[in-house]
């Protein structure tokens, strides 16, 4: 067996040995762990934790990473055993992801432009109450609750259109500035003020909410921040970049750049800080000491950790209450291209139990459909969860067959991944409720004694993995200074 310089370690560290993994594939060898007190322990081998560890090692620190799962990458998760390598989490970087592009270069993974594959999907068919509607039919449909000026806008387009066109946030990079606190209202109130009636908000947002379970749950200020980031990315240029061979290759390659130990299967459960250092205790009873601890975990899981001394004030409130998006992803394969029979787009936006269906074009050519990726957000994600994997997949397949008789017997359920049910994620991304941006965002990530916080949810100038990387830079500077 080939031994790599990088040590992914697993399991028996408490006994003084640890098993080394090559990539995320399997055990390779054992080696002793221990020795002098480390400079820093990083909790979580997602993009934020891995990059923090790398940055600190570049500055000469000794660093150990503890990861609860048996794989690295967290919310970057490719199904390597399915056609087209469907992504259950992170999909792509925009052109302005300077940090993401740099991380990929450093790690030696190849990025390629997937935007032609996205474009090959050619939009989505609208299905309401099981019936297909073209844009023209939608514009005059009695089901259309939008104001006259917006009748031709499809349900999935309208919220971004209104937030993008009418944002009152002068500079999106200042979204956490207390001077913008008055904008930290619910998305529902923002959309009402733009003339959208409640039935329109329910259809356009609550059916498939990006944040929370309804427009009442989501801070309009957070959507304005998101809108600013998206516009900045568009200014940087066109294109969407993904990792050739699956996005999971990126965290695996980032992990291989590390010199220190990366212990897998190590769920941190407690952090005790004292005058001479801090101790992390794991669920298996093992413990590790360092001068500093970086908590690169979403607050939805960090809230299960026992901090001694306890967190205080706004930070305690943020760790305990910051929301996280309920979202589930399903993957189906198809036996035949049934859409060639019914002449409708295989991609669909539905108000039914199948959620949003996106045809995947990740075969040898841009046009070949490799499967269907479905997203359920908010309450629909929870409904799928309540049904359980196999019943939910069955319902999804039956729903598509009912909507599209040509699909009868042609759909093969393959996978379903619930981010909310994943104990080491708790959801897809951070959700600030109305009032929480003003109350929490500017102070919640401050160091608490020897403990520092990073991760996507703590980013203030970028979203997604670019935000995770931004947060790792901030936390590395905090520690080094
Ligand atoms: C469906 C979906 C689509 C997305 N699409 C995009 C996209 O197109 N573009 C984009 O930029 N972003 C996208 N994102 C967001 C992006 O994936 C995340 O923002 C980013 O990966 C978060 O990285 P992180 O390091 O902050 O957190 P995570 O990836 O969650 O890493 C945290 C790590 O901590 C580990 N952990 C948890 N608890 C413990 C514990 N107690 N002890 C030790 N370890 C623990 C976890 O296992 C995990 O590895 C998407 C996310 C989802 C879910």
Give the closest residue (by CA) to ligand 1 atom 26.
455
What distance in Å separates the CA atoms of residue 129 and residue 283, rounded to the nearest whole number? 47
Question: Is the per-residue pLDDT at 322 higher than 60?
Answer: yes
Average pLDDT over residues 143-167: 96
At 36, the pLDDT band (50, 70, 90 cuts) reads confident
DSSP 296-310: -S-HHHHTTSEEESP
Ligand 1 within 6 A of 326 CB? no
Does position 18 have pLDDT exceeding 60, yes or no? no
Helix (H, G, I), strand (E, B) or coil at 10: strand
Q: Which residue has the tokens 């390629």?
A: 112
In whole angstroms, what is the distance from residue 141 CA to residue 147 CA?
A: 13
Please say whether the beta carbons of 9 and 266 come within 8 A: no
**Ligand 1 near 39 CB (within 6 A):** no
3-state helix, strand, coil in the chain (%, to 5): 35, 25, 40
Vertex 286 angle, CA 282 and 291, to 5° = 80
The contacts of residue 439 (CB under 8 Å, 6+ apart) are 314, 317
222-275: pLDDT as tens digits: 999 999 999 999 999 999 999 999 999 999 999 999 999 999 999 999 999 999
For residue 23, is pLDDT > 80? no
Tokens representing residue 353 in the block: 């139990």
Mean pLDDT of 400-408: 98
* Per-residue pLDDT tens over the stretch 167-198: 899 999 999 999 999 999 999 999 999 999 99
According to DSSP, the residues that pair with 270 across neighbouring strands are 281, 306
Cis peptide bond upstream of 167, omega within 30: no
Q: Smallest Cα–Cα separation from 63: which of 286, 270, 296, 302?
A: 296
pLDDT at 11 over 80: no
pLDDT of residue 21: 42
Give the number of residues written for the chain: 481
pLDDT at 13: 31
Evaluate: CB of 114 within 6 angstroms of ligand 1.
no
Torsion angle (degrees, nearest 10) of CA 73, 79, 83, 89: -60
Instruction: Give the mean pLDDT of 300-311.
Output: 98
Q: Residue 426 C-alpha to ligand 1 middle, in angstroms?
A: 10
pLDDT of residue 121: 85
Integer CA distances (angstroms), 5 to 8, 28, 257, 464, in order = 10, 12, 9, 30
- Whole-angstrom Cα distance, residue 389 to residue 157? 30
How distant is the alpha carbon of residue 209 from its chain centre?
Answer: 14
Tokens of 399: 């729903």
Q: Is 472 near ligand 1, meaning CB less than 6 Å away?
A: no
In this structure, the number of other CB atoms found within 10 A of the CB of residue 25 comes to 10
**Segment 73-94 mean pLDDT:** 98
| Nearest CA residue ID for atom 14, ligand 1 | 90
Whether residue 124 has its Cβ less than 6 Å from ligand 1: no
Q: How many Å lie between the centroid of ligand 1 and the Cα of residue 54?
A: 17
Q: Measured from the CB, is residue 89 less than 6 Å from ligand 1?
A: yes
266-303 per-position pLDDT tens digit: 999 999 999 999 999 999 999 999 999 999 999 999 99
* Residues whose CB is less than 8 angstroms from the CB of residue 130 and which lie 6 or more positions away in sequence, other chains included: 352, 402, 403
User: Is there an atom of ligand 1 within 6 Å of 331 CB?
Assistant: no
10 Å Cβ neighbour count for 358?
21
Looking at the predicted structure, is the pLDDT value of residue 26 above 70? Answer: no
Q: How many angstroms separate the alpha carbon of residue 45 from the centre of ligand 1?
A: 9
- Lowest mean per-residue pLDDT among 116-120, 148-152, 370-374: 116-120
Nearest Cα to 228, choosing from 276, 178, 180? 180
Q: Which residues contact 446 (CB under 8 A, 6 or more apart)?
A: 315, 453
| Between residues 10 and 467, the one the model is more confident about | 467
């Amino acid at each position: 067996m080939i031994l790599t310089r990088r040590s992914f370690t697993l399991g028996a560290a408490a006994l003084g040995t640890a098993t080394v993994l090559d990539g995320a594939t399997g055990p390779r060898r054992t080696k002793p762990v221990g020795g002098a007190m480390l400079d820093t322990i990083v909790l979580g081998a997602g993009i934020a934790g891995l990059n923090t560890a790398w940055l600190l090692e570049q500055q000469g620190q000794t660093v150990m990473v503890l990861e609860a799962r048996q794989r690295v990458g967290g919310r970057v998760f490719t199904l390597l055993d399915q056609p087209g390598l469907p992504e259950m989490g992170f999909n792509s970087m925009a052109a302005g992801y300077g940090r993401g592009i740099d991380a990929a270069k450093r790690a030696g993974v190849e990025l390629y432009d997937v935007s032609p594959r996205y474009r090959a999907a050619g939009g989505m068919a609208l299905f309401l109450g099981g019936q297909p509607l073209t844009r023209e039919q939608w514009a005059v449909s009695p089901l259309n609750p939008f104001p006259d000026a917006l009748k031709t806008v499809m349900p999935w387009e309208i919220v971004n259109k209104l937030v993008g066109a009418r944002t009152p946030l002068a500079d999106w990079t200042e979204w956490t500035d207390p001077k913008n606190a008055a904008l930290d209202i619910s998305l529902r109130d923002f959309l009402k003020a733009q003339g959208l009636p409640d039935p329109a908000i329910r259809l356009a947002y609550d059916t498939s909410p990006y944040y929370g379970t309804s427009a009442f749950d989501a801070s309009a200020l957070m959507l304005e921040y998101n809108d600013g980031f998206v516009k900045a990315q568009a200014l940087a240029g066109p294109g969407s970049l993904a990792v050739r061979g699956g996005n999971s290759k990126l965290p695996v390659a980032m992990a291989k750049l590390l010199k220190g130990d990366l212990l897998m299967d190590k769920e941190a459960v407690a952090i005790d800080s004292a005058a001479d250092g801090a101790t992390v205790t794991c669920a298996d009873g093992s413990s590790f000491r360092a001068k500093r601890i970086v908590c690169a975990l979403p607050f939805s899981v960090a809230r299960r950790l026992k901090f001694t001394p306890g967190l205080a004030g706004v930070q305690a409130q943020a760790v305990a209450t910051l929301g996280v998006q309920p979202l589930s992803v399903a993957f189906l394969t198809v036996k035949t291209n049934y859409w060639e029979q019914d002449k409708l787009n295989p991609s669909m936006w539905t108000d039914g139990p199948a959620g949003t269906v996106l045809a995947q074009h990740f075969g040898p050519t841009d046009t070949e459909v490799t499967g269907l990726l479905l997203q359920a957000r908010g309450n629909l994600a929870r409904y799928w969860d309540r049904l359980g994997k196999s019943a939910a997949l069955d319902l999804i397949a039956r729903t598509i067959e009912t909507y599209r008789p040509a699909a009868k017997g042609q759909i093969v359920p393959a996978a379903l991944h619930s981010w909310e049910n994943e104990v080491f994620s708790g959801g897809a991304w951070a959700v600030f409720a109305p009032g929480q941006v003003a109350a929490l965002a500017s102070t919640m990530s401050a160091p608490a004694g020897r403990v520092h916080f990073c991760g996507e949810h703590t980013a203030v100038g970028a979203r997604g993995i670019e935000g995770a990387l931004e947060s790792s830079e901030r936390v590395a500077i905090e520690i080094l200074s």
